Amino acid sequence: IVDLAKQLNISPTTISFILNGKAQEKRISSELVERVQKQIEKVGYKPNSLAQSLRTGKTMIIGLMVENIANPFFASIARLIEEKAYKNGYKIIYCSTDNDSIKTKDLLRMFQDRHVDGYIISPPEGIEKEVNNLIDNGSPVVLFDRYLHDTKADYIVVDNEGSTYGAVNHLIQSGYKNIAFITLDSLQTQMQDRLKGYEKALNEHNLPHQVKEISYYQDDENIIRHIVSFLERKPGLDAVVFGTNYLGVSGLKAIKRLSKRVPEDLAVISFDDHALFELHSPDITAISQPIEEISEMLITILLGRLNKTSKIKKIQSGVLMPELIIRGSSKKIKD
């Protein structure tokens, strides 16, 4: 800035005002603004981001932490948030937590070292203290996909219980009576709520529960083996609901290995849609989350906190309703 000022024979303060978009506020003429802009282009000047952040107290960076960025649900959310943040002058740094609280805490320290302005997180259990510390220190946090009890963080989730309840009822109304639920061995709120929805629907019709829980920390081949073993031990099953889309993909591979037909031998529904589900024959019924709406609400709440436009001091939350997309894998049993 000092060099630019000397070259143009004006004060560094004037250039600083122009660079920070305060020319009109400081009544700097448009002719002078144009002179400065031309000189900047000529010499290839780039503002020092560290110096800017020290001056403004903002880095204009948001930390986005998801369970697994390779998962289509999280990848779609990340892409939309990135677009919406960029339109508002923010950039995104994102990472995968692998549902590991130790890794998540390490990544949070990394983000803090880089002085990111705010956080959007799909949290594992066990980081409640860290989330509250961020908020207490003035960094807004918005959780999504699941929430944490005993935190002060805003959050956006979907009605996991209600949507799973509706999906199981769809199977019951289609004539299925021996319905399994293959899910994660997890205490996370979204997984617990999906299990509750499954159990509620079966209880209302006095139907048996058939639940298989699988550890998150398994590769695809091991997940397939667990599902194959479960299905072999439960030959009377006529339908299965998968608690996540990646369990659904692995489940379809397991069903193929057993030479079972969908839906003639086994009807299938998955929570969360996946591109492969439309390519499968028949195509797979899925509980589809409103990704665009989730992304919009996440960035709106966070920007409201960052820009101090939100006057709401209490926790802000939203519960959205997924859509059951009925396809060929859950068609009605013929009498």
Strands 61-66 vs 91-96: parallel, antiparallel or unpaired: parallel
User: In the prediction, which pLDDT does 16 show?
Assistant: 81
Class of domain 58-158+291-320: alpha beta
Q: Are 253 and 224 in contact (CB under 8 A)?
A: yes
What's the alpha-carbon Rg for the chain, to the nearest Å?
A: 26
How many whole angstroms separate alpha carbon 92 and alpha carbon 112?
14
**What is residue 328's DSSP assignment?**
G
User: Which amino acid belongs to residue 334?
Assistant: K
User: In the prediction, which pLDDT does 311 show?
Assistant: 67
DSSP 213-245: EE-SS--HHHHHHHHHHHHHH-TT--EEEESSH
Homologous superfamily, domain 160-289+324-330:
Response regulator (3.40.50.2300)
Q: What is the pTM of this model?
A: 0.83
Task: Tell me the CB-side half-sphere exposure of residue 245, using CA atoms within 13 A.
Answer: 19
Which CATH code is given to the segment(s) 2-47? 1.10.260
Give the start-to-end residue ranges of the domains of the chain: 2-47, 58-158+291-320, 160-289+324-330
Strand partners for 270: 242, 286
Give me the helices (H) in 114-188, please.
128-136, 160-173
Q: Are 179 and 210 in contact (CB under 8 A)?
A: yes
Calculate the CA 177 to chain-centre distance: 33
User: In the prediction, which pLDDT does 82 show?
Assistant: 96
Cβ count near 57 (within 10 Å): 10
User: Which amino acid belongs to residue 75?
Assistant: A
How many whole angstroms separate alpha carbon 28 and alpha carbon 13?
11
Q: Are 282 and 263 in contact (CB under 8 A)?
A: yes
Tokens of 239: 């339908």
CA torsion 6→9→14→19, rounded to 10°?
A: -60
User: In the prediction, which pLDDT does 58 show?
Assistant: 79
User: In the prediction, which pLDDT does 21 show?
Assistant: 67
Tokens of 146: 């699941």
Calculate the CA 137 to chain-centre distance: 24
How many whole angstroms separate alpha carbon 84 and alpha carbon 138?
22
- CATH topology identical between 2-47 and 160-289+324-330: no
Phi and psi, residue 278, nearest 5°: -80, -20
* pLDDT tens digit at each of 335 positions of the chain: 788 888 889 998 898 888 766 787 788 998 898 998 888 888 887 765 555 555 556 789 999 999 999 999 999 999 999 999 999 999 999 999 999 999 999 999 999 999 999 999 999 999 999 999 999 999 999 999 999 999 999 999 999 999 999 999 999 999 999 999 999 999 999 999 999 999 999 999 999 999 999 999 999 999 999 999 999 999 999 999 999 999 999 999 999 999 999 999 999 999 999 999 999 999 999 999 999 999 999 999 999 999 876 667 789 999 999 999 999 999 987 75
